[in-house]
Structure 1
Amino acid sequence: MFNTIRTFSFLFGYLPISAVNLKKNIKQKSTLSVKEYDQLIHTEPQKWAAGIMKRTKSTVTIAGLDKLPDGPVLFVSNHEGNFDIPTLLSTIPKPFGFISKKEVNKFPIIPMYMKEMNCVFLDRTDRRSALKSITDTIEKLKEGHSILIFPEGTRSKGQSMGEFKAGFMRIAKDADVPILPVAIHGTSDIMEKNNNKVKAATVTVQLLDPVSVDVLKDMKPKEAIAVIHTQIEEAVSAMSAEKQRNNDN
């Protein structure tokens, strides 16, 4: 219970501080390039996310940072738990926004940052909103920003990965950016598997080989989706097996 209290106290308690820094950073927007401003804005969410993960007392490791390409990229990740975003924000140095459900707009300050991070809000009950989120994401990628998407659409909570919705493939092709598959394992051990109480966990992230648009265009959509899904699924399975071996030793 103590981990839960300290984690959520920091989650919301840091927001007033970050709001002050956000206002300072926004004033510099007109003097910076897209890349420079994205990096500046990324600093506060990264501190916030790192603080959250520290207070869960979880161990987080990431591999494959050498695979990060220059320029905008569409990160495509499996979605295991509520701590996926803090995990990825705190470990991936490349700034990125992400597609988020519209309910997040009800939180204080967080939506202000998400707007500057180039996040896209989605109403999953409205088909027109879903289509608009695709076109908005394409536009942000064309502007030079990187975006993260969870094509399962919902958390697996540590169970088998769900099917990938096809929207991410259209986004990558129309925006003409590579896909960087991301495998994440262990975040559901922090909360989802503990009756929503925060507990320390071992979390691993693996950045896989980027897939270029030229490769995607040579495949049929279903084939391309299956390739990305399989890459991530196999990586998650390997991380799970490695974790089990470590637990047995």
Structure 2
Amino acid sequence: MIRFILVVIVVVGFLILSIPILILEWLIGKFAPRFRDITSLRLVQYVFKLVMFISGVKTTVIGEENVPKGEAVLYVGNHRSFFDILITYSRCPDLTGYVAKDGMIKIPLLSHWMKRLYCLFLNRDDIKEGLKTILKGIDQIKAGISMCIFPEGTRNKDPKAPMRPFKEGSLKMAEKTGCAIIPMALTNTSAIFEDQFPKIRSRHIILEYGKPIYPKELPKEDRKFLGAYTQNIIQEMLDKNAELV
């Protein structure tokens, strides 16, 4: 429980103490938006790394060279833990917005930081609103901001259960922009927190980045079921890495 308490103190403390920073970043953005964006990115990455250090998370990263430099991409991963966001976001080389459930927009300060970092809020129950979110993601990729999505739709809370089928519409951001899809396989992340909630345990996890997938280079059948195609690649990485933790 000590780790859990320390993590709560760090997260809540950051959100409260960062109120002046949000105001300062807003002012900086009036004159130097790129500088504001990068400083916000690095600050939050530092806090995420601190949380993982306190939690005792030991990360093995495979295939990071597969992430293209200097271009926006769509990160796609399996999702079993809150820590999936911390682990992956802390390694983003440039601006990256995450697609989150719309319920998070109600959380004060946290939602402000998420908006500041180009995150989008998806309403899964309203097709029209969901489409607007995907279109916004397309615009952000075109503007050079990478996006990250977990196409299972929600965290898969059973560590022994297979991945839920990927929602095909989630990958429209890559189809419509032609950007690379970067498959991410996260192994053993639920063992950090969810498997023994509310305790946080020191765990070894594996994050593997697959080779870039460019939708336009795929055969027609694979393009038609891009979600399933990407999910199969992630599953192969998960199967391969299961014995390494």
Same fold by TM-score greater than 0.5: yes
Amino acid in the other structure paired with 1:4: F
Identical amino acids, percent of aligned pairs: 28
Moved more, 86-95 or 229-238: 86-95
Deviation at 1:31, TM superposition (A): 4.0
SS across alignment from 2:82: coil
Q: Residue 91 of structure 2 aligns with which residue?
A: 91
Deviation at 1:161, TM superposition (A): 1.3
SS across alignment from 1:206: strand
Q: Using the alignment, how far apart are the partners of 1:160 and 1:101 within structure 2?
A: 21
Deviation at 1:125, TM superposition (A): 2.4
Moved more, 63-72 or 140-149: 63-72
Structure 2 residue corresponding to 1:163, chosen from 144, 162, 165: 165
TM-score by length of 2: 0.90
Q: Residue 246 of structure 1 aligns with which residue?
A: none
Q: Using the alignment, how far apart are the partners of 2:31 and 2:67 within structure 1?
A: 26
**8 Å contact kept, 2:185–2:207:** yes
Q: Using the alignment, how far apart are the partners of 2:67 and 2:33 within structure 1?
A: 20
Q: Residues 217, 109 of structure 1: CA spacing in aligned structure 2 closer, same or farther, 3 A cutoff?
A: farther
Q: Residue 124 of structure 2 aligns with which residue?
A: 124
Q: Using the alignment, how far apart are the partners of 1:33 and 1:107 within structure 2?
A: 25
1:241 partnered with 2:240: no
Amino acid in the other structure paired with 1:117: L
Structure 1: segments with no counterpart, 5+ residues = 244-249
Q: Residues 20, 64 of structure 1: CA spacing in aligned structure 2 closer, same or farther, 3 A cutoff?
A: farther
Q: CA RMSD in A?
A: 2.0
**8 Å contact kept, 1:173–1:216:** no
Q: Residue 136 of structure 2 aligns with which residue?
A: 136
TM-score by length of 1: 0.89
Structure 2: segments with no counterpart, 5+ residues = none
**8 Å contact kept, 1:204–1:239:** yes
Q: Using the alignment, how far apart are the partners of 1:18 and 1:217 within structure 2?
A: 48
Q: Using the alignment, how far apart are the partners of 1:213 and 1:39 within structure 2?
A: 29
**8 Å contact kept, 1:57–1:199:** yes
Amino acid in the other structure paired with 1:17: L
SS across alignment from 1:27: helix
- Which aligned runs of 4 or more in structure 1 are off by greater than 6 angstroms? none
Deviation at 1:156, TM superposition (A): 1.8
Moved more, 202-211 or 63-72: 63-72
